Amino acid sequence: MVIINSKEKWESLKKRLKTQHFIYLQMLSDVNKHPKENRVSCFYIRTILREYIVPVNHNEKFGTIETLDVEDSKVCVSDMKSFLHNSMIECDKVFGLVDMNWCHYMKTNEPYDMDKHLTNAHHWYYRTHYDKENINDVIPLVKHGEYFSKVSMDLLGYMEDKDYYDQSILEVLSDVEKNGIQTTNGLVYSEYNPYTSTGRPSNRFGGLNFAALNKKDGSRKQFISRFNNGVLVEFDYDAYHPRLIGDKIEYEFPNGSVHQHLADTYGLSYDDGKALTFKYLYGGITNEIKDNPFFGKVDKYVQGLWNRWKGNKIIKSDIYNREISRKNLSDMNPNKLFNYMIQLMETENNMLVLEELLPEIQDDRSKLVLYNYDAFLFDFDLSDGLDYLNKIKKILEQNGKYPTRVSMGSNYHEMKDITEKFK
């Protein structure tokens, strides 16, 4: 492994990387900070023939290291979201960017364990200096190199992998993360984890589970607008899962409330009917409900899905055609598989919508700060005007196919429904 410890070696490496394919791995300085607030301690390069390690903010640095400008290179990384937040490569000039961890996940349905090759030195420093900032800057560079080398060997096969896996979810989630969420104590960042068994991202960082913030205990009051003339606005899909399923099974809901419509088919009140709908969707369809026009079709879809699962080695997701292999998911049953596919359908549809939405609002002051399954939270600068909110609502609703409820508040706890103002 070549340690870049002089200006001459650095200049030589930069020239070599302009048109090469290589693996880029980085070590951020602080293990407790979000990548957006962090800095690069050192980074590692693996070409076909050689390995290099470059200290940037590490104690063993030789001087100032500027960003890498690669022109026609294919760059393979282990964490695209972190790379897009903070790296030594000018991201917008990368010819081809491949997330090897995502490739691994798409083939195995499990994330690559990035910590398994940490050395004893890493574990000792992390254990004894857990409260120190930028601890990776003092861990010997050779130990970082030892770690990088083993990780790159594990992932090397993905460098020339001919299979294409859609990585748009990583770019979308990175775009949401980078905006941060304003609190009464300053700006905080969430961190989405797309490497879940169902494909539905979890979202937690710094001791906060952003995907499960309590609605009743007042803890949401800390989330406020960053703008002097701003409020929080949330768009929440109405009956999202039943509508997604309805599209899939070609069941056309009438205009108005989906839950009221289904409650009417049961002969129950709205609240009782809604509870029963969720019971059947997530708990399993019983024989007594199979005569229901909606659930009769759902049952046929579930059974068809299960038969394909048993008969084939793979099934594919509905939007991105993601291959889901039987060997990667054990202990499956018809309803569990159905719920798995609902969550995957929800995630893929949301990513498709956000791919359209984010470019449309990138030049506005207001920001999308939180994506949470069937809801989208915006930090809204009032100067962007009502047109901004109308634009968002139109794109999210996909020509009226998926209606949204809209709420607004000075903080995330005290939100008032303003849906009627859009009619």
Report strand pairing: 2-3 vs 51-55: parallel
Confidence bin at 13 (pLDDT 50/70/90): very high
**So what's the pLDDT on residue 94?**
64
Confidence bin at 92 (pLDDT 50/70/90): low
What six digits make up the tokens of 286? 């019983």
Mean pLDDT computed over 292-318 = 92
For the chain, the straight-line distance linking the first and the last C-alpha, in angstroms and rounded, comes to 65
Q: Which amino acid is at 206?
A: G
What are the phi and psi torsion angles at 56 (to 5°)?
A: -110, -65
How is the chain split into domains, by residue range?
A: 2-165, 174-238+363-422, 240-349
Report strand pairing: 74-77 vs 22-28: parallel
Mean pLDDT computed over 12-22 = 87
User: What topology does CATH give the domain 174-238+363-422?
Assistant: Alpha-Beta Plaits (3.30.70)
**So what's the pLDDT on residue 108?**
87
**CA atoms lying within 13 Å on the CB side of residue 61:** 17
Q: What is the pLDDT of residues 109-152, one digit of tens each?
A: 889 999 999 999 999 999 999 999 999 999 999 999 999 999 99
Per-residue DSSP letters for 73-121? Answer: -EEEES-HHHHHHS-SB-GGG-SEEEEHHHHHHHHHSS---TTTT--HH
What six digits make up the tokens of 116? 């398994």
Q: How far apart are CA 415 and CA 35, in angstroms?
A: 30
The answer to whether residues 220 and 264 touch, using CB atoms and an 8 Å cutoff, is no
Q: What is the pLDDT of residues 33-77, one digit of tens each?
A: 999 999 999 999 999 889 999 999 999 999 999 888 887 778 999
CATH class of 2-165: alpha beta
Confidence bin at 95 (pLDDT 50/70/90): low
Q: How far apart are CA 258 and CA 226, in angstroms?
A: 36
Confidence bin at 91 (pLDDT 50/70/90): low
Mean pLDDT computed over 270-277 = 95
**So what's the pLDDT on residue 93?**
59
What are the phi and psi torsion angles at 285 (to 5°)?
A: -90, 120
The overall pTM is greater than 0.85? yes
Asked if pLDDT for residue 402 goes beyond 90, the answer is yes
Asked if pLDDT for residue 268 goes beyond 90, the answer is yes
- The chain-wide mean pLDDT, for the chain, equals 93
CB atoms within 10 A of CB 309: 20
Helices (H), 203-329: 240-249, 258-266, 270-283, 293-311
